[in-house]
Structure 1
Amino acid sequence: MQQDRLAIASESASSSEIGQIQLLVLDIDGTIAGESNQIRPAVKQAIRAAQAKGVQVAIATGRMYQSALRFYEEVGSSLPLLAYQGAFIKSPVDQKVYRHYPVSRQTAHQMLDYFEQTELKRFLSIHFYIDDQLYVREITSETEAYAERSGVVPIPVGDLRQVLDREPTKILALSDDIELIDQLLTSLRQRYTPAELYFTKSVATFFEVANPLVNKGVAVRYLAEEMLGLQPENVMTVGDNFNDVEMLDYAGIGVAMGNAPAEVQTYGNWVAPSVEADGAAVAIEKFIL
């Protein structure tokens, strides 16, 4: 089936399907923003050209809402912003919150107990996202790097249980040990079913935990079908990592970036050049312009 999706690409560029794209949904990191942490000029130009043709543009990201705002503003979107893998959907235009699916307090306590096992604790930086603020046990080098790229100020609280009087929108475990992150993913998927929790990786060093009703595919479907009255064939999505696979699979045209892991690329109808080669702009030119 995934091979069939890849085969569609050669036919799609000249098919009438292209004219039906009315919604373009873009991931941020590794898709429209690379090492510079800025939207590349060619990508911005292609987005503007798509909008000039009447295509609406949305952002779907694992980032915090406050961290994603500057990208939202740069692309000139007027649609709700899909943040935290779609766990939090809010319109920056009128400040209306359309969806918020947090992790339960009970589950957050369970996750913290698991991450703070003696053999894991010293290798992981744990982030709790509550009310669009970032709470951490302590400021580690990983947290500093994350905060600098995200443009947010982490709040160290020592024992994270102190902030669990409220439900976290998302939980993130960071480690430079990529193998450890993969082990966490495997282990916790054996402990919890998809109906209990959503686990994903947004980059190789980020292990993410969210409400089971959450993923970017669900969020894009909500935006497209329930808010805009569109169908999957009217939607194009572009992404680069495992947290993007559901929205790549949902869309009529799902584009995986050239810098995406090989497995992620199989979910796309087409594989674009890498982010540093303006792959998102190339994809917009091919399928919309």
Structure 2
Amino acid sequence: MAIRLVTIDIDGTLIRDDLTVSQKTVEKIKKVMEKNVMVTLCTGRPNIAAKYFAEMLGIEGYQISQNGAYIKHNITGNIILHDTLPRGIAEKIILICREHKNFSLSLLYEDICYYETLDELAMHVNLNINLVKPIRVDDINELIWKERKNPTKILVTGQARDLDSFMRYLIRLYGSQVNILRSGAQFLDIISAKASKGRALKVLSEKLKIQRQEIMAIGDNFNDIDMIEFAGIGVAMGNAPDEVKKIADFIASSNNNDGVADALEEFIL
């Protein structure tokens, strides 16, 4: 069955380690779209960052962001999915995060980011990776109740070793009530228990009336696993951990060696 939709992770997949997209990858994506194959980006970043890369590549359509919690059309602005964190649980997790001085905490409502204190790493992540300008507030929990709506995501940044143990601790406490996952070595995302890239891809495929067998998904990290498993053709990047490679149908070259372009050539072009 021919591929009708390709979904591509951004960090560690679409972009190289220097945060750029290779010219070869740009050209192959354009050729895929010329064959009337839809392309969507699927990222842990906020929608504004997904939209930035989509526009750079000439992609028009729905983009999946916030690790599957949010789907928005980058031209019409139509939103077909927004899974949020219950305010009560978000408040409890924020209180726990405050007790750990090694971490910085950001709270996101769609593309709006709030913080109390941010270290240099967290500020870099928000400005240069998430492409949002953080807004400082005195008390994030007070903001949650003042907004009278549930947040999209809690982002915790810190050193990888510290986040490993903190993630295990949070999972023991709230693993059944929220989805806690790593979208990078120094990033910890806390989103709705329902949200994942795989679920978002299912929602999008039903909206577009595309069967699983007509989808190719390309990713590199643990948060890409259920997306890769859902697709008819699941592709792991050469730089992916072994656990991700094991569930893939095809292993491409690394993100620094045009892995996305290789996969598109192998199955579509």
- Deviation of 1:70 after TM superposition, in Å, equals 1.2
Q: Match of 2:75?
A: 93
Q: Match of 1:204?
A: 185
Counterparts of residues 58-69 of structure 1 (less than 5 Å): 58-69=40-51
Match of 1:262 among 207, 222, 242: 242
1:54 counterpart = 2:33:
no
Q: Match of 2:168?
A: 186
1:103 counterpart = 2:82:
no
CA distance in 1, matches of 2:83, 2:208: 21
CA distance in 1, matches of 2:240, 2:18: 17
Q: Match of 2:227?
A: 247
CA distance in 1, matches of 2:232, 2:24: 24
Q: In structure 1, give the amino acid aligned to 2:181.
A: T
1:95 aligns to what SS in structure 2?
coil
Q: For 1:22-75, what per-residue CA distance to the aligned partner results, in whole angstroms no more than 9, with x for missing partners?
A: 100011111111223222211111111111122110111111111221111123
Consecutive unaligned residues in structure 2, runs of 5 or more = none
- Deviation of 1:214 after TM superposition, in Å, equals 0.4
Q: 1:131 to 1:48 in 2, by over 3 A?
A: closer
1:190 aligns to what SS in structure 2?
helix
1:30 aligns to what SS in structure 2?
helix
Identity of aligned residues (%): 31
CA distance in 2, matches of 1:267, 1:204: 21
CA distance in 2, matches of 1:233, 1:140: 44
CA distance in 2, matches of 1:247, 1:55: 18
Is the contact made by 1:34 and 1:276 (CA closer than 8 Å) also made in structure 2? yes
1:24 counterpart = 2:6:
yes
* More moved, 181-190 vs 253-262: 181-190
Match of 1:213 among 181, 189, 194: 194
Q: Match of 1:83?
A: 65
Is the contact made by 1:189 and 1:199 (CA closer than 8 Å) also made in structure 2? yes
Q: For 1:217-242, what per-residue CA distance to the aligned partner results, in whole angstroms no more than 9, with x for missing partners?
A: 00011111x21111111000001111
CA distance in 2, matches of 1:271, 1:164: 42
Q: Match of 1:175?
A: 158
Q: For 1:158-206, what per-residue CA distance to the aligned partner results, in whole angstroms no more than 9, with x for missing partners?
A: 3222321232101111102x12211122222222344x21111111111
CA distance in 1, matches of 2:242, 2:135: 36
Give me the TM-score of the superposition, normalised by structure 2.
Answer: 0.94
1:285 aligns to what SS in structure 2?
helix
CA distance in 2, matches of 1:151, 1:247: 24
CA distance in 2, matches of 1:230, 1:67: 25
CA distance in 1, matches of 2:18, 2:131: 13
Is the contact made by 2:116 and 2:140 (CA closer than 8 Å) also made in structure 1? yes
Q: For 1:138-176, what per-residue CA distance to the aligned partner results, in whole angstroms no more than 9, with x for missing partners?
A: 231112221223322111213222321232101111102
CA distance in 2, matches of 1:82, 1:149: 16
1:198 aligns to what SS in structure 2?
strand
CA distance in 2, matches of 1:240, 1:282: 14
CA distance in 2, matches of 1:199, 1:222: 21
Q: In structure 2, give the amino acid aligned to 1:267.
A: I
Measured on the aligned residues, the alpha-carbon RMSD in Å equals 1.4
Q: Match of 2:117?
A: 138
1:275 counterpart = 2:255:
yes
CA distance in 2, matches of 1:270, 1:127: 36
- Deviation of 1:249 after TM superposition, in Å, equals 0.8
Consecutive unaligned residues in structure 1, runs of 5 or more = 1-16
Q: Match of 1:124?
A: 103
- Deviation of 1:267 after TM superposition, in Å, equals 2.2
2:264 aligns to what SS in structure 1?
helix
1:71 counterpart = 2:53:
yes
CA distance in 2, matches of 1:239, 1:108: 28
